[in-house]
Amino acid sequence: MTPQPPVPPSSLGSERAAIERLLDANLDRAREGLRVLEDWARFALDRPDLVARSKDQRQRLGRLHQERYKLARHTASDPAAGMTHPAQAERQDGASVLAANAGRVQEALRVLEEFGRMEDPLLATEAAAIRYALYDLEVDLLQAGRGGDARRALLRRCHLYLVTAPVQGLEQVVAAALAAGVRLVQYRAKADGAAALPGAAPHDRHRFAQASALRQLCHRHGALFLVNDRIDLALAVGADGVHLGQDDLPPAVARRLLGPDRLIGRSTHRLEDLRQAVADGCDYIGVGPVNATPTKPGRDPVGLAYVGQAAAECPLPFFAIGGIDLANLAAVRRAGAERVAVVRAITGAADPGAAAAALLAGLEAGA
């Protein structure tokens, strides 16, 4: 093997200077972006807890912003100084500014992590720790700015509703559906279903961990995340609301516990159930099961007739549910359903993302 010639000292010095300038620029970028998040939490959200978390991350970086990095700065020779992008003019609300700056900080932290290993291992380690903490902070900031009106507006735009099942690789399944365009997900983990999944722990610690991960995943995609039945779990993970069955707590009790800004959905099996759910102040209605389904063993399907009744009378968004897939979607649409909820059509698909995309296309084609 031919030995490589040594790098001239001047080249080493030039590279080190470049890395110091790069670290300085990304420390500035990360600290500026964190200040945007901090001020949004302070002035728009009035959330001292989120202010404190943003400030802590900013100050941790500030303590590592060494004077030698600042002295290496040379803005006049930076070819990208002052460069802008048309996307910056498209940010029309606080949430989009928030998301853009969180992304900016995450990118800067990644650069600090990679190049810091060569020049400043302590900075690299801290940048990595802050980057992971920022993922949670971003989700909490976005959720804090999502009031009841915003949630209900997004709900009205949702036409495909994914209800989870206890399958292996659930996070990957949900991630694929979200990437395909699904914007409404319900976490359903009944005791019997959790126990049926090999290797799954049917206890609340497992459910809390899984629901927390899915909530973060949904909010990063701008999607609503609901929890089936469990109001305590929904509150614990910061979900956007709950879905209640006919045998669950009354919606009035759920509203008292959840407050006015979170969503409440209700399963209904006949017109009388639907009318009661509307009177109870629910935000959306589940109509079904349209077909026989193993998700609801022992329950007789209501068929398409009830879907037609709901379409004629329901003043709220309603989702037809129960054994709906691409093969029978057109018939459900003809019966009057603009929105459908599915379980196995996505969670049991070989390619969940493709299945979700096909269902969305079918709903759009029937619109």
Alpha-carbon distance of 133 to 260, in angstroms, equals: 29
Residues acting as catalytic residues: 188, 267, 296
User: Is pLDDT above 50 for 194?
Assistant: no
DSSP annotation string for 28-78: HHHHHHHHHHHHIIIIIS--HHHHHHHHHHHHHHHHT--HHHHHT--GGG-
Angle (nearest 5°) at CA 193 between 192 and 197: 115
> 13-78+86-144 with 148-365: one CATH topology?
no
Alpha-carbon distance of 82 to 267, in angstroms, equals: 54
Which pLDDT value is given to residue 94?
81
% of the chain surpassing 90 pLDDT:
71
- Model pTM score: 0.70
User: Is pLDDT above 70 for 34?
Assistant: yes
Report the top-level CATH class of 148-365.
alpha beta
Domain boundaries defined on the chain: 13-78+86-144, 148-365
User: Is pLDDT above 90 for 335?
Assistant: yes
* CATH architecture for residues 13-78+86-144: Up-down Bundle (1.20)
pLDDT tens digits, 115-124? 999 999 999 9
Provide CB contacts within 8 A for 140, sequence distance 6+: 50, 53, 238
> For 11-23, what is the mean pLDDT?
84
Return the structure tokens found at 331. 């018939």
pLDDT tens digits, 67-126? 999 999 876 555 555 555 455 555 567 888 998 999 999 999 999 999 999 999 999 999
At residue 201 the predicted structure's pLDDT band, cuts being 50, 70 and 90, is very low
